[in-house]
Each structure stands twice: as structure tokens, then as C-alpha cells.
Structure 1
Amino acid sequence: MYRVLCRFILLVLASVATASAQPANPLAPLDTSSPSATFQSFLSQAAVIEADYASYLADKDWAGERTLLHDLARLRSLMDLRSIPSATRQKVGDAGFGYLMDILNRIPEVPAASIPGAPGRDWGDLPKKWEIPGTQIRIEKVEDGPQAGEYLFTGDSIESLPDYHALIIGQPPLKPARFDDWRNEQIRLTGPIFPDALTRALPKSIQFDVLGTPFWKVLFTLAIVVVVAVVTWQWAWLTRRLRKHSSKVVSLGWHLVTPILLFALVVLADWFIDYELNVSGEFAVGEDIAVAALLYLAGAWAAWVACFFVVEAIIASPRIPDNSYDAHLLRLTARICAIVAAGAIMVYGANDIGIPALGLIAGVGVGGFALALASQSTVENLFGGVSIFADRPFRVGDFIHYGDGGGVVEAVGPRSSRIRALDGTLITVPNGDLAKLHISNYSARQKCHFQHVLGLRYETSPAQLEWLATEIRRFLSEHPMVEKSGGLPRVVVVGFGDSSIDMEVRCYVVTGDFGAFLEIQQSLMLEIMRMIEAAGTGFAFPSQTAYLTRDEGIDLEAKARIEREMAERSAGVPQEPAAGSAPRVG
């Protein structure tokens, strides 16, 4: 009965205090136009929070907790928390309220009229900063940012409050207060799930503080961490088994669920730890940093897998073959997007937990430059791969000839290409080297060139040659796989060789498949052989003809006559025309 009566009285007092302290418009921003306005806004908002807290203790429910959290958030607007990592600002600001309340209750009351900006006096130009008398707690005008021109408790003062609090908490309060030790109230506070009777009944051996948090809360937090880790690991193990016999898209889908599950579990665990366990102090700050790091890691992981999942889902459509240029280009794009997305999330997360983003980006830039210098060949191959994807000189399945090698292209990756040689050897060629070579793509041909020179025997008559040329030309013109355009097919005698009469046969076979061309070429050549046989001639073989005769020597009479003629010509004797020679004119 006594407890019920006390609870009823406490609830009535809390309701009265709330009615008197709550502003007419709870959405109106707190006044921060001067040091006096900021200080008085803190005191009035603190009274509201005191009433909220008393009401919450009297009847712990979700509505009371939401009201308390809302009013604490309004009070944090009086603090310049820009120098504090965003992941821990809420915890630091809420703790700052408890520290500051305990300190103000143990120092002489500050006369309201003495604070710069107090009503009833012309203050002229207000000072840029003001310290609470007898302390180093400072209210200062913000010069830049969204709250420029407002007077706020400085970040340095907020961060120093734990030290100031440790020095003064042992002294008795100088004025009556509803709660003598606000910081202890914050440390012991729990959410609606944990009844106060249960927490008070816990053994003393687990109620001592560890890093500003009761030990039992630390143990509970560690148990939650273990549950999250075990559930995530078990799910990852299950999905690995499911992915073994799945397609790429389904496998990546299962893989994507793991970071999403981790993200959801961490969010749920953080909500429970923050609003039900209500950890505090250095332990709470560490928990916030760890949670933020895990969330950003899970987000980066999910972004990485999602890029590949989307690309593989696109490739899985019937329009894009798995080993086509477009497929490999999409995979390269996915890799680049995954690196950029995951890197951006990690940099943003590092900034959120207190690692300066600009410094991190600069470090990454310098490290990337050094890495690029140390791995020039790798970078060259990557750019070579990009150029191959852009130019598309060949595709998977094409038969190409490059430099001193050739074969069928089996894969085109971001760093290298794999080519199967004619003897079955798999050759891996760096893209940087391949991009520099002259490449002949035989599979890109729309038609194949058929050109042969027939060496016919010299005994072949002109009539036979004319008949044979006409018949071969007619046969090729009637063949369905031979192109008829541009003066082709052409069958003509092109020369007299050492041992044959050469007849050229030239046309185009309408197929880009080299194997099909070889079959068609064989059928054409066999039919031409039959025509040569039908013409009564044949192929000539390289040969020489030896003529045997008796050597009768030289003409001795002619020799003597020439010698005599040359001697007389040298002596100047007029010469008679030789018999059978033409008379000299003029």
C-alpha cells in the first residue's frame, strides 16, 4: 500500500511539473540568441526532462520513453557537437545533460541578470563567449555552419564534462533537487522491458560499473553480440551449401541476403542495447562506434554483391550470351561500380566514426598512386582490357591470329584473355600485350576466298583450255554457295609456267565458318578434277626435256672468211659485199 501511494504521489507531481514546464508549443526551437537565452533554455528544458523522467519511472512504457528521448534530443540542440563523431553524438550529448545537471546542482546559483543577453538591460554587442562562473564550461557563438549565430555549449566543454563531474560529484548539492545524482540515474536506467524490481534484485556482484555501464548490462550486450554472430555465421554456412548447385544469379542472390541479414540483426541489436539495456559511459561510446563500423561494413558488402547480382541478372536474359563481349563488359562495369560503391560507403563510415574523410581520401589517393607505380603492368593490362572491350576486335568463340600465335578465343577478362590454340593448348595473353598486336579475326569474315592455280600439261590444246574454262565457270556460277558478283567467279589462263599452262580459278564462298568453307572447297576441287579428266588433259608435273644430238663442230669456212675480212678492214682495203649480204646505201 505504501509503494502504491508513493507511486501515485510521484505521478501527480510529475504531471504538475510537466504542465508547468512544458512550453506552449513543444515543436518551437529553443532560444539560443544569447548566452542568457541558451542557459535559460537549458534550465527550462532540464525541468521538462526531469518531469518526463519522473513520469517514466512511475509507469515505464513506450510512450514515456519516446517523450523522454524527444526532449533529450531538443536539449542536445543547445550543444555544439560538430567535433564529436556523428555515430556517438547522441550518447555524448545525453550524457552531457546528466553531467551538467550534477555540476550545476553543486555550484552557486548563477544570477540570471548577470548573464550576457539577460532581459531588462541593454547589453550592446554581446560577447562571443561566456563561461559559467567558477567553471570552465563555456557557451560560445557559432561562427559558421547551419547553426551560425547561435550561442551553444562548446564541444570542448561537453567533452570535458566527465572530468569536471568526477571532481565535484563527491560534494553535496547546494540546492534541493529531485535527483541528486543524474549521471547515476542515467547509468541505472533501463527500457520498459526490464522492470525496476528485476534490476534491483540482481546480485551485487554484477551491478558494479565497467566503463560507465553496470556489469550485468555489459554481459547482456556480449550475449547479444554472440547471438548475432552465431545467427549470421549459420546463415552464411547454409547459403554456401545452397549456392553450390545454383546458377550465378541465384548464388549471388543467396550471397546478398547474408550482409542484409547482418545489417538487420545489428540494427535490431543496437536498438535493444540503446533503448532497453541503455548502456552508458565509455562502453556506450565504444558500442556506438562498433555498431556504426559493422553497419557500414555490411552496407559495403551488400553494395559489392548487389552490383554483381544486378549484372548477372541482366546477363541471364536471353539477349546476352554468357561469354559475349557485352557480358564481359558488364562484369567489368560491375567490378568498377562495386569498388566505387563499397569504397564510398567505407569512407563515409570512417568519417562517421571519427576518421576524417578528407585525410582518408588523401591517404587513399597517395596510396593508390604508389600502388599504380608499383603495378604498372597490371594497370596497363586493365586499360588494355578496357580498350579491347571498347574496340571489340574479336569475341569469345572467334578464331584469331595475333603476332606469332593464333587460336579460338575462350574468355576475355579485365586483365587477360584466354585463347585455345589449334593443338589444344590454352594460352593466356595479357590484354596490354594483346592490345598492341595486329589481330586478324578469321571468324569475322562474311565470306571465304577460293583461289587456286591449275597447272595443266603443255600438251593441252587451246580448244581444250577454252572448253575447260567455260565448264568450270558454269559449274561455279550454278553452285548455291558461290557468290556471283563483281566479275566473279573467274576462270582464266594466266601464264605459261616452266612445266605447265597455268589457269586461275577465283571466287568467294558465301560462309564465314572456316570449317564449312573447307568442306565446300573440297567439293569444288574434286569436281574440277573430274572436269580436267573429262577434258582429256591432266595436271602437269615439274619436268625438263633433254634433246640428244651429234655435235658437228663449228663452220671452219665461215671462220676463215671472217678472219680474212677483218684483216683487210684493218689494212684499209675496200671490201666487196659478202655474198648474200645487203648492198650498202650512201
Structure 2
Amino acid sequence: MRKFLLLLLMGLCSVISVAQAAEATRPLEPINRTSPRDTYQSFLAAVQRLEHDYAAYVADKSNAQVPQLRRDLQRIRNVMDLENLPPATRAKIGNAATGYLYDILARLPPLDPASIPGPAEDGTLDEQKLPSRWTVPGTDIQIARVSDGPYAGEYRFTPESIQHLREYYFSIVDQPVLNPRIYPLMHRTQINATGPLIPDALVLSLPESLTGTYYFDAPLWKILAVVIVILSALLIAALWAVTAVRLSRRASLAGRRWWQLTIPLVILALFSFSEWFIVVQINPAGLFATSESIFVSVVSYLTWAWAAWRFIYFIVDAIISSPRIPENSYDAHLLRLIARIASLGTVCIILINGANEIGIPALGLVAGLGVGGFALALASQSTIENLFGGLSLFADRPFRVGESIKFGDQTAKVERIGPRSSRLRARNGTLCTVPNADLARMHIVNYSMRSQCYMDQHIFLRGDSQPDAVRLLLERLRALLLAEPLLEQDKGWPTVRIIGTRDGHIELWVRANVLTSEYDVFLEIQERILLSLLDMLRELDLKLGRPLDAAAVDMPPASPQGIEAAPTQKTW
């Protein structure tokens, strides 16, 4: 094997001058795919150009020549119909097909170009006379017109032919070469090629058990090298993950999110470098290269999704960490809800693109999600309803976290507003979890947002009370209210009036606005006023009356939590 490679290198060196001369005198011919003849001849010309460029590269390995080799391979892949393959594997499969096909054609009898359907002798092309497909004589390899897609009307080697090229290659590789080539075994040359950082002398020094043993069309040493590179990247990523987790424990919320974000970013950097080193320097080929490309694509897209998820939460928590937004404020919870929705949508988009990259059709997946999503929406109708209910609560802002509200016949303090439900703490300490859809439909009273408390008292005196005593009671009561500093002093406020006599009783109406949002303060002031009223009644020898029809008096409902605004009350 070593002797074979040495002879091969000597032969390559002998043709460098010829290759350079050809390059100077013959410009790069464009790829023509307008007929089977043009496609066939374009393929041969493009591979011959690749042979010359690779011979120059072997004579003087440098990174400057690698892009030209990649362009040569890209041009060759343009004569192959690879659209049915996953995007992540098209380059690898196309490159392998190049070596297989070139070695097969080298062992077939030379073809007269005139025998291949194409332009007439005068250069005119009658597309109506061209067949839909043409088969290379003596083989099942076909060139066919592409019927649809972006390359409709072009002639390319068919997907079926490309799929079976490896099988055809191994059945004919032992036959003599009938068409002279610089590299009689192009496929073997491909799988042994390396990048500029790996000298050929190092490869030749390896034992034959590593260079001459092939698994999945790759030398054993390349498989081991790829595995070592990937495991090294995973080990470094694991060490960094442990370090980042340890550092995040001592950081703030935004700092913790940053250290968590660095884990997928480091993985992306490591795998990007590893992929470059594997593709450009180790240069795996064949089935092993295809499997490696799929693995790297899966890891890359999963890591990108992870990084996008962490990045969105990092941005949101960095905003929340600013002094203008309290940790448990309404805006903080709104931003976290937006982060959940945005991160979920971003991850879905990245994963769908990744699925398309490795061969799972994204459009079919989206269509399946549409049909399955309809069924899922029916099954999770309440969950979706609660999600939109939470969005409506964030949009309308009827209450904020930490505020006291009344919903239905219950009162509680808001502790959390989630995407599906809200957590409310009742005055007795119990925790209520209420679906957002139910809260959005309820009449909600926000006690924490009130600017004042309203005192409304109806007092009934006996009908035989002395008018002078009643007048004096009104004067003293008005003076008491005016002396209270937290009562609104405005036109008509506070109010103490006789509003009527019914059922033989005198009805007094006492109204006042207490300038406080704290209900406990309001109750304290109201209690002080009512106790003073009882003292006045005792001094003036006035008696409270009892309505003859007690049912006619509207009694206010009791408040077990005791945080409601004072309803209309009647006293007798």
C-alpha cells in the first residue's frame, strides 16, 4: 500500500506542469446541462479540472488551494439531481458520487459524443427531439430531464443512478482502465485525501491496519480521528458546563442567565471548529462522512435552539434586573410570559429547519402540525383559552402582582400571574389557583387601586325624638366630620342630612370620602366616628329606632376577608 501511494505521488508530480499549462491555456468551461451530451461532457471536463487542481494541491499543500478544490466539487455536483436528499448530506453524497462515477466511466469503452443525444452539427438544439432520459451504454446509469422544481428542463444524473453508484463501482473497480486518467482510482484518492495541516508523510507512516482497512468507505485512521475530535469537544464542553454552573450560583439573576447561556455558546464554538477541522483537514468520505454530517447537524440545531432559548431569557431577566422594574411587578411577569412564548416559537422554528436539513420535510411537518394541531387544539381547548385569558389580563391590567382584589364573591391578594392560571392568596392564608379564562370573564374589583374609601351610613332615630336634640346632633356630627383630617373637605362633602321619616322613624344619612386606600385605616376612622356618634346620642338622650319592617331594611353581606370597600349600611 505504501509503495502504491509513493508511486501515485510521483505520478502526480510529473503531471503538475501539464496541469498548470492546461489551466493557463483552457479557461474554466461552464457547466452545460441543456442535453444529455452536454451534461455528460460537462461532468468529464469538470472532473478533469478537479484532477489537475488536486495534483497541484498535493505538490504544495496550502490552505489557499482548498477553496478552489471545493469550487470544483460544487461544479461537479451541479450535474447531479440531489434535490431529494437532505441538505446536510448533499455535498458528502455528491462528492462520493463523483469518485464512483468517474472510476466507472474510466473502465467503460470510450463513447463517441455524436452518439449521445445533443445539439446538431451546426450547434442548433431541437428540444422536441431530445429524449426525456438517456442511459450510458452498458450500464443502468441514466441522465434524465428534471421535470419540476428550480432546475426543471435541465438534464442531470438521476437520483436512482446516484443511489446505486457505489454498487456499480465495486462490481467494476477491478476492471482495467480504458480511458486514461491522472487518478485511475479517484474514489480511493478521495477517501485518502487530507487537509494542509496533516502532512502526507504522517499518513504514510501509519501502519497498514489503519490506512488499508475501510469501514463505511473511510480509512480506519480517519474514523478514529473524527471520534477523537468529537469526544474532545464534548469533554471540553462538559468541563465548561460544570464551571459555568458553579459560577452561576454566586451571580445575580441576569448573571445566572448569562452563565447558563455560555454553555450552548461554547458548544457551538467547539463544534464549529471541530466540523471545520474534520471537513477540511481530516476530510472523511463515503458513508461515514454522511453519517458524521447528520450527527453534527443534529447537534448544531439542538444547540442553536438551546442557545436561542437561553438568550431570550437572558435578555428578559437583564431588563427585569434594572431598577425601574421590580422583581415581582406586573411588568416583570408580563416580560417573563413574553419570554416563554417567544422562546417556544423560536425553538420550534429552529427545530423545524433542522429537521428539514437532515431529511425530515419541513413543509410536511408543518402541514402535519396543522392537521394535528387542529385536533390538539380541540383536545386542549381549555389550555389555549387560559393562555389567551392570561394575555388579556396582561393587556388590560385589571390588577398587578401584590394587589388585593375581589373576584366573584371572594377576596384575595395576587401572588402570581402565569400563562395558564393565576395564584391568589386569600385572607385566611389559603392559596387559590384560578384559570385565567375564568378571571378574564369575572367582574374584578381592585381594592389596591382605589384612591379613597367611601363611608355610607344610614342611622334611624325614634320618631318621638326632640327636634332640638336632633338639630344639635346634626351640628355636632358635622363638626366631628370636618375635624377629621383624612376626610375629603369639598362642596357637599362630608354630608350629614335628614333624608326622610318613614315607619315613624327619622332617617339620617352620613356620607364621607376617607382619603386613604388602606382599608384598615378606613375602618379605624369609621369606628371612631361611630363611637363618637353613640356618645352624642347618649348625651342628647336620643334613642336609635328599630324599623317596624326589618325585612325592608337592606342588610349588607358580611365580608369574611374584611378587605372590601364599605357597602351601603343601615343602622337602627
Is the structural similarity TM-score above 0.5?
Answer: yes
Structure 1 residues 204-255: Cα deviation after superposition (integer angstroms, max 9, x where no partner)? 2323111111112111211122112222222222222233343332222222
Alpha-carbon contact 2:321-2:327 (below 8 Å) kept = yes
CA distance in 2, matches of 1:197, 1:301: 42
2:148 matched to 1:138? no
CA distance in 1, matches of 2:100, 2:523: 91
Distance 1:41 1:19, change over 3 A: farther
Residue 167 (structure 1) aligns with: 171
CA distance in 1, matches of 2:317, 2:533: 52
Structure 1 segment 56-135 matched on structure 2, within 5 A: 56-118=57-119, 120-121=121-122, 124-125=126-127, 126-135=130-139
Distance 1:391 1:486, change over 3 A: farther
* Pairing partner for 1:408 from 406, 410, 413: 413
Cα distance, 1:538 vs structure 2 = 5.8
Structure 1 segment 351-370 matched on structure 2, within 5 A: 351-370=356-375
CA distance in 2, matches of 1:211, 1:166: 13
Moved more, 203-212 or 347-356: 203-212
3-state SS of 1:435 partner: helix
2:45 matched to 1:40? no
2:207 matched to 1:203? yes
Alpha-carbon contact 1:15-1:51 (below 8 Å) kept = no
Cα distance, 1:498 vs structure 2 = 8.6
Moved more, 189-198 or 102-111: 189-198
Cα distance, 1:108 vs structure 2 = 0.4
Residue 379 (structure 1) aligns with: 384
Cα distance, 1:524 vs structure 2 = 3.9
Cα distance, 1:57 vs structure 2 = 1.5
CA distance in 2, matches of 1:522, 1:25: 103
Cα distance, 1:414 vs structure 2 = 1.0
Cα distance, 1:23 vs structure 2 = 7.4
Residue 457 (structure 2) aligns with: 452
3-state SS of 1:396 partner: coil
Distance 1:364 1:7, change over 3 A: closer
2:190 matched to 1:186? yes
Distance 1:19 1:154, change over 3 A: farther
Q: What letter corresponds to residue 399 of structure 2 in structure 1?
A: F
Moved more, 422-431 or 486-495: 486-495
Distance 1:222 1:493, change over 3 A: same
Moved more, 107-116 or 318-327: 318-327
Alpha-carbon contact 2:505-2:547 (below 8 Å) kept = no
Alpha-carbon contact 2:469-2:542 (below 8 Å) kept = no
* Pairing partner for 1:17 from 16, 19, 25: 19
CA distance in 1, matches of 2:230, 2:103: 33
3-state SS of 1:417 partner: strand
Alpha-carbon contact 2:405-2:413 (below 8 Å) kept = yes
Alpha-carbon contact 2:49-2:72 (below 8 Å) kept = yes
Moved more, 424-433 or 224-233: 424-433
Structure 1 segment 322-333 matched on structure 2, within 5 A: 322-333=327-338
Moved more, 436-445 or 263-272: 436-445
Cα distance, 1:530 vs structure 2 = 5.8
Alpha-carbon contact 1:243-1:250 (below 8 Å) kept = yes
3-state SS of 2:42 partner: helix
Structure 1 segment 534-553 matched on structure 2, within 5 A: 536-537=540-541, 540=544
* Pairing partner for 2:154 from 150, 153, 169: 150
Distance 1:504 1:245, change over 3 A: farther
Cα distance, 1:421 vs structure 2 = 1.1
Alpha-carbon contact 1:106-1:171 (below 8 Å) kept = yes
Structure 1 residues 175-218: Cα deviation after superposition (integer angstroms, max 9, x where no partner)? 33221111111111111111111112112232311111111211
Distance 1:215 1:18, change over 3 A: same
Alpha-carbon contact 2:103-2:187 (below 8 Å) kept = yes
Residue 316 (structure 1) aligns with: 321
CA distance in 1, matches of 2:522, 2:177: 102
Alpha-carbon contact 1:21-1:44 (below 8 Å) kept = no
CA distance in 1, matches of 2:57, 2:325: 62
Residue 235 (structure 2) aligns with: 230
Distance 1:259 1:181, change over 3 A: same
Q: What letter corresponds to residue 71 of structure 2 in structure 1?
A: H
Q: What letter corresponds to residue 16 of structure 2 in structure 1?
A: A
Cα distance, 1:502 vs structure 2 = 4.6
Structure 1 residues 46-65: Cα deviation after superposition (integer angstroms, max 9, x where no partner)? 12111111112112211222
Structure 1 residues 68-92: Cα deviation after superposition (integer angstroms, max 9, x where no partner)? 1221112222222111111011111
Residue 565 (structure 2) aligns with: none
* Pairing partner for 1:221 from 220, 223, 226: 226
CA distance in 1, matches of 2:137, 2:534: 117
Cα distance, 1:354 vs structure 2 = 0.8
**RMSD of aligned alpha carbons:** 3.0
Which structure 2 segments of 5+ residues have no match? 549-572
Moved more, 17-26 or 169-178: 17-26
Q: What letter corresponds to residue 80 of structure 2 in structure 1?
A: M
Alpha-carbon contact 1:458-1:540 (below 8 Å) kept = no
Residue 250 (structure 1) aligns with: 255
Distance 1:498 1:123, change over 3 A: closer
Distance 1:29 1:362, change over 3 A: same
Alpha-carbon contact 2:452-2:515 (below 8 Å) kept = yes
Residue 553 (structure 2) aligns with: none
Cα distance, 1:525 vs structure 2 = 4.0
Look at both structures and tell me which one has the larger radius of gyration over its CA atoms.
1
2:31 matched to 1:30? yes
CA distance in 1, matches of 2:176, 2:542: 128
Alpha-carbon contact 2:462-2:546 (below 8 Å) kept = no
CA distance in 1, matches of 2:399, 2:415: 11
Sequence identity of aligned pairs in percent? Answer: 45
Cα distance, 1:100 vs structure 2 = 1.1
Q: What letter corresponds to residue 383 of structure 2 in structure 1?
A: T
Q: Which has the higher contact order (CA 8 A, sep 6+)?
A: 2
Moved more, 145-154 or 213-222: 145-154
How many correspondences in the alignment?
Answer: 541
Distance 1:4 1:343, change over 3 A: closer
Distance 1:527 1:234, change over 3 A: farther
Cα distance, 1:402 vs structure 2 = 2.2
3-state SS of 2:498 partner: strand
Moved more, 349-358 or 360-369: 360-369
3-state SS of 1:171 partner: coil
Residue 560 (structure 2) aligns with: none
CA distance in 1, matches of 2:141, 2:489: 98
